[in-house]
Amino acid sequence: MPTSDAEGKDWSLEHYRRHLPDTVTDIGPGEGTYARLFRSEHEGVWWTGVEIHKPYLRKYRLRSTKTRVMYDELHVLDARDAPDHLYHRDLVIAGDVLEHMPRTDAVDLLSRIEAAGAWHILVSVPIVRSEQGPVDGNPHEAHVHQWDPDDMGQVLTGLGGHVETMRGNTLGVWWWSRRG
């Protein structure tokens, strides 16, 4: 679904506040959960959204207006096909999106994000069996891979850097930071 469970959001917000990034790429923003949650915490942050499902831009009003800023820049494309410069950010968010692609694609994407120069990566995925097919005509909402929390932790640890984890009842959340 284009929404996200509330679990782990307070933990994620604490990490965001600790690092206060100046540039953020949000992969698969859906209804804009993370932009709504984090945007007011730090002025002047450049937010980029990479959304595969074009109807969400209008449905969830992801484009910035005179009265509300959600995303400064939006790209309608598959995150796996996005140019690397979109991942050269202080923070890249993969919030409830990696379960929508095969494991190998998700691992490759995380490796590309690290190689592109991201300083931090926030990952959130369901850690319980979470079957889901297309939603509201969007085939990209189907859950393709069921993540095990230990597996995601190993994938992120394999990128080098430092990994912090929060395991809830439904979601696992990881904050990866580049060493340096």
150-172 pLDDT, tens digit per residue, is 999 999 999 999 999 999 999 99
Q: What digits encode the pLDDT tens for the residues 82-93? A: 999 999 999 999
Domains in the chain, start-ordered, CATH in brackets? 9-177 (3.40.50.150)
How many CA atoms are closer than 13 Å to the CA of 20, on its beta-carbon side? 6
What proportions of the chain, in percent to the nearest 5, are helix, strand and coil? 35, 25, 40
**Cα 77 → chain centroid:** 14
CA atoms of 110 and 143, how far apart (whole Å): 18
Range of lowest pLDDT (13-27, 34-48, 99-113): 34-48
